[in-house]
Amino acid sequence: MAGNRHIYEQAMNVGHSAAWDQHWDRAIAAYGRAVQEFPDDPGAHNSLGLALLQARRLEDALKVYTRAHQLAPDDTIPLEKSADVLERLGRLKEAAQQYINVAELYLAQRDLEKAIANWERATQLTSGLVQIHQRLALAYERTGQRRAAVREYLSLAFTFQRANRPDIASQAVERALRLEPGHPQALNTLQALKTGQLISPDVLEDDAPAVTTRRERAFDAAALEGDDAGGEDDPRGPLGEAMEFGLAALAAAVFDTGDLSEAGTQVLEAIECQRVDDVENAIAAYKRALKAGFNHPGIFINLGVLLLDVGEWKEAIRSLDEAGKDPLLSPGAMQGLSMAHFVQRNHRAAAYYLIQTLRLVDVGLVQRPDEAAQLGTIYDRLTAGIEDADDQQIRRMNERFLELLTGPNWKQRIAKTRRQLEEAITLEEPESLISIVPYINDRVTEGLNLVDEYLREGLLMLAMDQAHFLLESAPDYLPIHWRIGQILLERDNIQDAIVKYDLVANVYLMRGDTERAAEILQEALRIAPMDVKLHRSLIDLLQKQERWAEVLSQHIDLADAYYQLGDLEAARATYHAAIQLAERVEAPTERMVHILHRLGDIDVSVFDLRQAMRTYEQIRKLDPGDERARRMLVDLNYRLNDPISAVRELDGLLRVYAREHRAGQIIKVLEEQVTRYPQDMALRSRLAAVYRQTGNLTQAVEQLDSLAELQLEAGLHNDALVTIRRIIALNPRNVDDYRRLLRQLSG
């Protein structure tokens, strides 16, 4: 139901003004009000999506742009924006598919240049898009970009050879040579194919951005940030900082209040004794100050440290517990408590306080609140592992963390260690995280930093040498093996990289950890989505775990791989297997519809139009509101020379639009169909009726006039008379001409 136009326009104006000033929260509220007034307005949705995107509310922006696309399927803006959002969310495969969808829209609009740009973006985000590379090659040919076309054909040859299709690979190279007969890389590639050698990965490097982009994506998350600026760190760690802060706060408390009573005097005496390392007298003076009523957090932190120095563990713990109640002193107090428990060999309690120390320091180092919230996962994992770890593991972790918290630049080391823990969490079992903490030492940390630096600079040989050097001291530390896989990937040793990932997966299988093995195989498939063997291995693993939703997804991905490789029979068989599985596990209807659409695409591509009809009829039965299925049924009926059934299917689609109050879409679809099938009288009659209902009388008359001509040409004299009377009832400007025509035909 339509809303208040005045409120809508006012809200849009407020939103535009707020967006101009970059007040995104206000813009979101205003655009949201406009959407409430007119829920079917795509423009308001696009504006709201942009405001959400600028406010970094990515998931909300994606939902809004998805709705905007539903409201205006031929508008490229919501599709392009949703692709951008998916890319920012790291959902690269979905983003690539969305860019492909955008390209199709531009292609329909005959804007080949923009279609090419979106195809290029899709290929940069994910590998294995064989059909898109083919279309890019042809598009480059058409636009005269021969060098780019050659690059795409050589890339296709590289892909097809590794998919064991040397025949298609040779055809791709021959096509490249027709464009540039003397191209050296093409000639070398053709010779390699003839002699059975592997094509050199160099064919992919001809000013193509994909390699650099992939490297940036692979290491953006793991790249180490620059060291924090600022003054030198207290070499005693958080405890030293807390002591100095406590001393300064104590002195200020005495002098600012002018309290030179016995309590204040004792505080000053304690500070002076502490400065000259007179520990026993400092302790005594602090205790006298407390007895006199000077209960300041600075006393508790410094007294606690001094009691540690003289081995008074229980008293030290009581004092440090009290100091820990002050947020500014808490990191140092936690470190002091860990030291007290460590020297008493109470390693589990020491571990708890050490992890708390790291958490507090790390939260203080990050810049954004959302980063601070994410840190909780790491330290929660470490804390959870304390009870299950053995004494030796706990002791070694404590030694590592106590070492980490002291010495020069300890803050930078904490940040680097946390990043390694983040990486380890993605590769190791949560319960084994404590066991790998000793590997996170300065040698391994700096070594991995060096590997990453070499990778960013493209020094792949040095990166590999450094990684193998690290393996000598930490042979079973998986992040190193992970780096080696990444290096192999950057060297375009795709098969070797896959072998490395497969090896890591097998390690997990030997440990009985099928879940981690499956995760590694999934990562390998992100690198080589066309590797059929990997898909089958992953399906077997997921079936053992009875993870049926993921098994179904892998069946679909495997079928997609077959489809991309041109093996349509295998693709069809795998999609059918996916349907059977979906029915068995009672998958959601949308999953079934998704699979059936893929089957329908295959049916149409091999010109099995009647089978395609049955497939799309099945989709329509499952989801009566599926626009694409209904439009395909209209088209298929026309192609099978059955216009009556085509119009019947079209009427069903129009009823869907009518229920959703999408009058504009009704007109658009009818106009498209009339353009494609101008001789179809039923289409023109329906379009004229819709024009009349929406007040477009001039266009209604035009359609009725064309309809009357078609009826007369077909000998449908009486039908033509009815149509002319419908025109006269609309009272056009030249109504007298139609009246004369009616008299002539009636006479």
Nearest Cα neighbor of 439 from 402, 479, 498, 492 is 479
**Tens of pLDDT along 245-304?**
888 888 777 765 554 567 778 888 888 888 788 889 989 988 988 888 888 888 999 999
Cα gap 643→640, rounded to integer Å: 8
Q: Are 85 and 62 in contact (CB under 8 A)?
A: yes
pLDDT at position 300? 92
Nearest Cα neighbor of 638 from 611, 613, 656, 616 is 613
**Tens of pLDDT along 21-52?**
778 888 888 888 888 888 888 888 888 888 88
pLDDT at position 530? 64
3-state secondary structure 316-376: HHHHHHHHCCCCCCHHHHHHHHHHHHHHCCCHHHHHHHHHHHHHHHHHHHCCCHHHHHHHH
Nearest Cα neighbor of 682 from 652, 647, 706 is 647
Tokens for 587, please give them.
């998958």
pLDDT at position 150? 85
**Tens of pLDDT along 127-181?**
667 778 877 887 787 777 888 888 888 887 777 777 677 777 787 888 888 888 8
Residue 262, H or E segment: helix 262-275
Nearest Cα neighbor of 412 from 361, 451, 375 is 361
pLDDT at position 138? 77
Mean of pLDDT values over 321-340: 89
Mean of pLDDT values over 449-467: 82
**Tens of pLDDT along 549-588?**
777 777 777 777 777 777 778 878 888 888 887 888 787 8
**Residue ranges of domains in the chain, CATH in brackets:** 5-199 (1.25.40.10), 238-477 (1.25.40), 665-747 (1.25.40)
Q: Which long-range contacts (CB under 8 A, 24 or more apart) does 727-730 make?
A: 727/701, 730/692, 730/697, 730/700, 730/701, 730/704
Q: What is the per-residue DSSP string for 127-194?
A: S--HHHHHHHHHHHHHTT-HHHHHHHHHHHHHHHHHTT-HHHHHHHHHHHHHH-TT-HHHHHHHHHHH
pLDDT at position 632? 86
Q: Which residue has the tokens 């490229």?
A: 76
**Is residue 396 scored above 80 in pLDDT?**
no
Tokens for 666, please give them.
């009704």
pLDDT at position 517? 67
The 3-state DSSP class for residue 261 equals coil
Cα gap 394→391, rounded to integer Å: 5
Tokens for 703, please give them.
């359609």
**Tens of pLDDT along 684-718?**
888 888 888 888 888 888 888 888 888 788 888 88
Sign of dihedral through CA atoms 622, 626, 629, 635? positive
Q: What is the per-residue DSSP string for 694-727?
A: TT-HHHHHHHHHHHHHHHHHTT-HHHHHHHHHHH
Cα gap 271→281, rounded to integer Å: 10
**Is residue 212 scored above 50 in pLDDT?**
no
